A and B are shown apart, each in its own frame.
Chain A
Amino acid sequence: MSWETVIGLETHVQLSTKTKLFSRASTAFGASPNTNVNLIDCGLPGVLPSVNKEAFYKAIRFGMAVGARLIKLQYLTEKITFTLISQRVIKLLKWIYQLL
């Protein structure tokens, strides 16, 4: 059997936005713990996140800069994990980049 090596890279890059990806809470450093936390970030019952437009554009720009192809996406499901900081619900979003 002959094997072909395929390596995928998952990169985590912090974007230089003023607010968070799913809320308008500040991304600034230095405040006391849990200060830059909005209702959405706290994951309270009944809240609905919205996507940061600037982060979205930056992601698209990055994708284009590295030669990625833009695809149409019907929706984005954010995984909910059982952690202190994350809560995610199903989001509608039309375009996102996919690295080739």
Chain B
Amino acid sequence: MDQETVRTICYLARLEIDENKSEKIQKDLETIIDLIGSLQTIDTSDVEPLYSPLEMTALMHEDIEKSDNKKEKFLENAAASNEDYFLVPRVVE
């Protein structure tokens, strides 16, 4: 893993790493990737991945409306909002 890869992953994850920490992070990531990479020695041909311990069909909701009615509470939790909207920096010029 090189610094360029670290920068790409950081961008994909929308994270910024302090310049002075970036070498340490790169080293840490390498160590962890090495750990995960050790799985390559295990033969998993014809093994179905297990994405959840419960292999059951997830329940679905009926198409019947139910409103939580929490608009005000939602907006209260936002760092910037007005009566109706969450406010963010201008997106469209």
Contact = CB atoms under 8 A, between A and B. Distances in A.
Nearest to A93: B58
Contact of A26 (B59, B62, B67, B70): B67
Contact of B65 (A24, A44, A82): A24
27 contacts: A17-B63, A18-B65, A19-B64, A24-B66, A25-B68, A34-B71, A34-B74, A34-B84, A37-B71, A38-B70, A39-B70, A50-B58, A50-B61, A52-B60, A53-B61, A53-B62, A53-B63, A54-B63, A55-B63, A74-B48, A74-B49, A75-B51, A90-B52, A92-B57, A93-B57, A93-B58, A94-B58
Counting contact residues on chain B (CB < 8 A from A), the size range is: 20 to 34
A63 to B, nearest CB: 17
A90 B61 CA distance: 16
Interface string A26-55: 100000111111110010100000111111
B61 A35 contact: no
Given A39-B68, A51-B58, 19 more contacts: A17-B63, A18-B65, A23-B61, A24-B66, A24-B67, A25-B65, A33-B84, A34-B75, A36-B67, A37-B74, A42-B74, A50-B58, A51-B60, A52-B60, A52-B63, A56-B60, A84-B86, A84-B88, A92-B51
